[in-house]
Amino acid sequence: MTPTDEQIDALVEAARAAAGAAHCPYSRFPVGAALLDIRGRTWTGANVENASYPEGLCAERVALTHAVTHGAALDSFLAIAVWTDTPRPTSPCGACRQVMHELAPSARVVSGCATDERIDATVAVLLPAGFDPSLLPPAPTDGDA
């Protein structure tokens, strides 16, 4: 299912609004993200930083974990929008691309910003050779010692 141009524009706008909830006192770089699922629902998130800097989370991963922990099905995401109040759009970091690879592998990824410039890609284009969970050994069951 392909999102319409109107849906993508609305998703970028949802990401813009979501950036308002960012907790980013260290970088002062608010980022918003919004996911569109196959049921037409929108799930948002913003970056949440911590004084222990590496514990901070990007907006994309906050939105993805928000969606998954509130009932969105894995691989139900049609699109992901990212928004920053910058002259050029922000492309997701490598860690977020890997999480998208597992949770939203078929999604279109659109980054918007304060100008008309956009990055319009897919998870597969952004991370063509991500680590795939199918390579892991089977998880142990209760019967295993």
Binding site for ligand THU (CB under 6 A): 24, 27, 29, 31, 47, 49, 56, 58-60, 82, 90, 92-93, 96
Q: Which is nearer to ligand THU, 42 or 84 (CB)?
A: 84
Catalytic, out of 6, 49, 55, 60: 60
Q: How far is the CB of 142 from ligand THU (least distance, A)?
A: 38
Q: Which is nearer to ligand THU, 55 or 144 (CB)?
A: 55
Smaller CB distance to ligand THU: residue 10 or 119? 119
Edge-to-edge order in the sheet of strand 42-46: 42-46, 31-37, 77-84, 108-112, 119-122
Burial zone of 102 (CB within 10 Å; 0-12 exposed, 13-18 middle, 19+ buried)? middle
Is residue 60 among the annotated active site residues? yes
CA pair distance 126, 79, nearest whole angstrom: 13
Which residues are part of the catalytic machinery?
60
